[in-house]
């Protein structure tokens, strides 16, 4: 509701649109002063000014000293945990950093990020330290295994003597160990079993070295026809001791071919391992008895070990000779175990050989 506008008049109190109320006219316009008719002046309402709130005075943020220390300790521990030679320092510092990080987190009105970071760095450092420790341990185990193998078979007496000569010139007066010589193929024989169609062979190999053996040696025997075509190959893996011995085997894939000749391939002298004859050990074959059953011949015997340890799966290679000394058949068998300094028995059955053939047996590692 607006106040009525009086005609031009001098200043004074005049009625308003509100019953019982007058407003003051200053002669040109209405003022904010009102009053009850014939009463006192009522000032117009003026909203109070909002209370003055002083602006906050900027200050320094609180520092989490424990968190800073925790982060520093965890960081240094992480670095030491990555160094194999200083792992123990890392293992000491990382738990301290972890505990201080937890303390920093529970302190009120202090920044938390240092404590969180210290805990994180401590956990990661512990994991890295564990990996480094396992790597160092694995390397130590590998080195120990290599040293054990070297102690057992990798270091020959010749190498030890050479080392002794380097350290003590007086050792030069001792005789040097002779170098190894190649194996020698002495004799060979072959044939075909008329019933089975399989070929067979027997080769006599001599190791002329009294103080060298050929460990885990492969002896390959190849069968050729008259045109020089390779028909079949048979292989034997064995340790060739000093002296002369026979190796036998079979050709299973001859088919209708005829064997014209055989060739033998074995290790060369550089594959020999120094092993003094007085320390290596050997086998001794006992007497062989033969008999017959139906149309095949049986052979029985024993083998005695002079090795310092039990020998498992000792192979016995056998050849049968007729009355003229010609090889007419071969066979081989295995003993489960020959005790150290003990004796084991063996038995075989020869097929398609004269029942009065003479049998020879040769043991192999």
Exposure b/e, 226-240, CB count within 10 A at least 16 = b: eeeeebbebebebeb
**Average of per-residue pLDDT values in the chain:** 79
Same domain, 356 and 211: yes
pLDDT of residue 16: 77
Q: CA 365 to CA 343: how far, in whole Å?
A: 15
317 and 229, same structural domain? Answer: yes
**The pTM is what?**
0.52
Query: Token pair of 213, please?
Result: 């053996």
Condensed to tens digits (0 to 9), the pLDDT of residues 74-103 reads 777 777 777 877 777 776 877 887 787 677
Number of other residues whose CB lies within 10 A of the CB of residue 332: 18
In a shared domain, residues 216 and 86? no
Pair 70, 97: CB distance under 8 Å: yes
Do residue 26 and residue 91 come from a single domain?
no
Residue 302 has pLDDT above 90, yes or no: yes
What pairs with residue 187 in β-bridges? 204
Look at residue 325 and tell me if it is in a domain.
yes
Whether residue 11 contacts residue 25, with contact meaning beta carbons closer than 8 Å, is answered with yes
- Residue 77: inside a domain: yes
Q: How confident is the model at residue 295 (pLDDT cuts 50, 70, 90)?
A: confident
Distance CA 359, CA 236 (A): 21
The pair phi, psi for residue 242, each rounded to 5°, is -70, 145
* Residue where a domain stops, chosen among 121, 140, 159: 140
User: Which residues constitute the domain of residue 117?
Assistant: 65-140
């Amino acid at each position: 509701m607006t106040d009525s506008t009086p005609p031009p008049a001098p200043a004074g109190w005049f009625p308003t649109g509100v019953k019982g109320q007058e407003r003051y006219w200053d002669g040109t316009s209405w003022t904010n002063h009102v009053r009850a008719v014939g009463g006192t002046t009522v000032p117009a309402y003026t909203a109070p000014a909002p209370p003055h709130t002083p602006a906050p005075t900027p200050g320094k943020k609180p520092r989490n000293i424990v968190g800073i220390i925790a982060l520093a300790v965890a960081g240094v521990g992480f670095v030491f945990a990555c160094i194999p030679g200083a792992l123990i320092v890392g293992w000491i510092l990382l738990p301290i950093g972890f505990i201080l990080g937890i303390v920093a987190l529970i302190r009120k009105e202090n920044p938390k990020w240092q404590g969180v970071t210290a805990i994180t760095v401590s956990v990661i450092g512990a994991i890295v330290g564990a990996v480094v420790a396992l790597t160092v341990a694995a390397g130590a185990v590998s080195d120990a295994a290599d040293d054990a193998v070297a102690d057992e078979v990798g270091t020959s007496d010749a190498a030890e003597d050479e080392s002794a000569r380097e350290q003590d010139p007086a050792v030069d007066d001792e005789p040097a160990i002779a170098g190894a010589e190649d194996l020698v193929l002495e004799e060979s024989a072959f044939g075909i079993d008329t019933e089975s169609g399989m070929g067979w062979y027997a080769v006599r190999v001599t190791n002329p070295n009294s103080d060298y053996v050929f460990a885990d040696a492969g002896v390959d025997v190849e069968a050729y026809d008259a045109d020089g075509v390779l028909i079949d190959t048979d292989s034997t893996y064995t340790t060739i001791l000093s002296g002369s011995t026979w190796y036998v085997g079979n050709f299973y894939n001859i088919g209708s071919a005829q064997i014209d000749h055989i060739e033998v391939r074995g290790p060369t002298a550089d594959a020999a391992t120094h092993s003094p004859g007085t320390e290596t050990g050997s086998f001794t074959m006992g007497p062989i008895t033969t008999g017959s059953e139906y149309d095949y011949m049986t052979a029985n015997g024993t083998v005695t070990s002079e090795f310092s340890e039990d020998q498992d799966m000792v192979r016995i290679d056998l050849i049968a000779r007729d009355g003229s000394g010609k090889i007419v058949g071969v066979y081989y068998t295995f003993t489960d175990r020959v005790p150290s300094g003990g004796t084991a028995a063996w038995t075989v059955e020869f097929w398609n050989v004269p029942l009065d053939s003479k049998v020879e047996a040769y043991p192999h590692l």
